[in-house]
Amino acid sequence: MSRKPSKPETRIEDYLDVMTGGNAVLPQPILRIEFYYAFLAGMTVELPQPILDDEKLLAKICGMEVEAPTYIPGLFPRLYAYMAKKGGQDVQVPDPILRLERYWYDYSAGEAPSVQEYTGAVPVTFTADGTPLLDYLISGNMVQSGTPTPDNPIMPQGTGERTGNLFDFEQLKNAPSGAIGSITFSHVLTLQLKANTYYTMASNGTGSTSSTPADLYRSIYFNATAGESSANKNNPVTLLTDSTGVVRIGFFSERTNAQQYLNGEAQLWINEGSTALPYEPYGYKIPISSANTTTPVYLGEVETTRKIRKWVLTGEEESWSKDSDSGQSARYYIAISDTESSTQNLLSSHFTQSAQYGIGTIRGYRKTIIFSVDKTIYATIADFKSYLAQQYANGTPVTIWYALVTPTTGIVNEPLCKIGDYSDTLSMEQAGVQIPTANGSTTLDVETTVKPSEVYIKYRGEAVATLSMLSAEVSSPEETPEEADPEETEEEENER
């Protein structure tokens, strides 16, 4: 029987109400102690290092690796008994009298949920106790829909969704000076977007007055006619691309208002459509959903562990060599010192992996990648490099993914990939975000088009239910043993 009050009256009681299955509105934590309660109520917060005894008891419940004090009746407040019990101590709790004790009596009722682990596919449903995941690890995956050829590439897809922001401000910062129409900018960036499509540029920064050119310009050329428009916090700009889809962006980095973009206080973004969408970082994200919330992890902002390297070929590589021809195939190879040596751990946008040397294939061999192409078209290294350069210029660069002999850790704004037994991973420590669970049935998912190859989660609650296959030895009453072929000899029957 529930002993908690009918309605919360304080901020701490708001947290406790949600912790015990209520629907109170959760306040943003301010005091140190509130951060632990907020965490237990399912909010994503950064927990402080516990100092006081009650903080240590709460931190233990939150799953932190801390040494909580052993509860001793008479030495500690009565409320600590409920905390100690919830944290796993063998404690006899008193009958609740005060309001907080009544909440904690409900929250600590029964045995403390045990720690469970699960490794497998998502979505996955399990029973949790309402505290955030204790740990998780997301492993990448990779899908290539179809068979690529040197002239008809197919880009593989990894685990990660493109954000709505199509513009990387870092590229603009590093772009050279140039002119758009009659105006010369300190930085001009050219983007290739879809033709005949509406795009909106938006900013959350402050702009200039209407009589002074703003710090940020976008000019789209329509049949060689330039149209210039500025964008600031109160002035998103929507334009329709022409048949080329070319967008040019100019930036006055020397102006006072530009500093807000250079130091990261304000952002500029471009999204498809005629309405400005909320800001998201450029690149890829891993949206993790649980307990009716979705938490995005932006791969351009956090470190990941990479076991797969993406290599874009431009035709400017200098270390190409030519092997002897094999039939109609000309074979060109290039050394890569950081590759894992197996011939199976390769993937390409334009070539298929093969241990043979057929036209349109690649093969890994002793720290090199060998490309086999039609020798009547690519008779020399110069011919092959010209092909690579042309593909790069067309916006369809020849791209290779291969397994690394030594994994690397860093910020890589690309989807998580997998080839063979090698996969990129994102851990909870790297993501830096807590994933909530419901107090009861919880469904966890990673909302990407290409699902992870597997996820690992650690949580408090009940083990994930599994379905066992019936033993092949058990048959239904209607089944009868297979009759032996009368033409079989005794020897043949024994060999089956």
Decide if 234 is inside a domain: yes
Same domain, 321 and 258: no
- Looking at the domain assignment, is residue 445 inside a domain? no
Residue 236 inside a domain? The answer is yes
Strands 422-423 and 418-419: antiparallel
Instruction: Tell me the pairing of strands 246-251 and 216-222.
Output: antiparallel
Length of the chain: 496
Tell which of 373, 391, 409 closes a domain: 409
Phi, psi torsion values for 80, nearest 5 degrees: -65, -25
User: Domain range for residue 198?
Assistant: 169-272
Whether residues 255 and 314 share a domain: the answer is: no
Domain end, chosen from 66, 86, 107, is at 107
Do 23 and 99 belong together in one domain? yes
Q: How far is CA 245 from the centre of its chain?
A: 29
pLDDT of amino acid 215: 43
In this prediction, residue 211 carries a pLDDT of: 34
Cα separation of 388 and 383, whole Å? 9
User: Is 174 found in the same domain as 262?
Assistant: yes
Give the per-residue pLDDT at 234: 61
In a domain, 372, yes or no: yes
- Residue-by-residue DSSP string for 285-310: EEEEEETTEEEEEETTTS-EEEEEEE
Over residues 110-164, the pLDDT tens digits come to: 555 678 999 999 999 999 888 889 899 999 999 999 999 999 999 999 999 999 9
What does the DSSP 8-state code read for residue 430? H
Q: Mind listing the pLDDT tens digit for each residue in 338-349?
A: 887 666 789 999
Residue 441 lies in a domain: no
What pLDDT sits at residue 339? 85
As averages over each run of 10 residues, the pLDDT of the chain (496 residues) reads 86 92 90 94 90 95 91 94 91 92 85 80 92 93 96 97 93 88 83 88 67 44 45 71 84 79 86 92 97 94 97 94 91 90 83 91 90 96 96 93 95 96 96 89 96 95 61 38 38 36
Please tell me whether residues 84 and 180 are part of one structural domain. no
Helices (H) then strands (E): counts for the chain: 10, 30
- The phi, psi pair for 430, rounded to 5°, reads -70, -40
Say how many domains are in the chain.
3
Percent of the chain at pLDDT exceeding 70: 86
Per DSSP, the residues of 245-269 read -EEEEEE-TTSGGGHHHHTTSS-EE
Domain termination residue (choose one: 255, 272, 289): 272
Say yes or no: 264 and 310 in one domain: no
User: What's the CA gap between 413 and 419, in Å, rounded?
Assistant: 18
pLDDT of residue 490: 38
280 within domain boundaries? no
Does 422 map to a domain? Answer: no
Do 266 and 318 fall into the same domain? no
For residue 2, being part of any structural domain is answered with no
Dist. CA 288–CA 296, nearest whole Å: 6
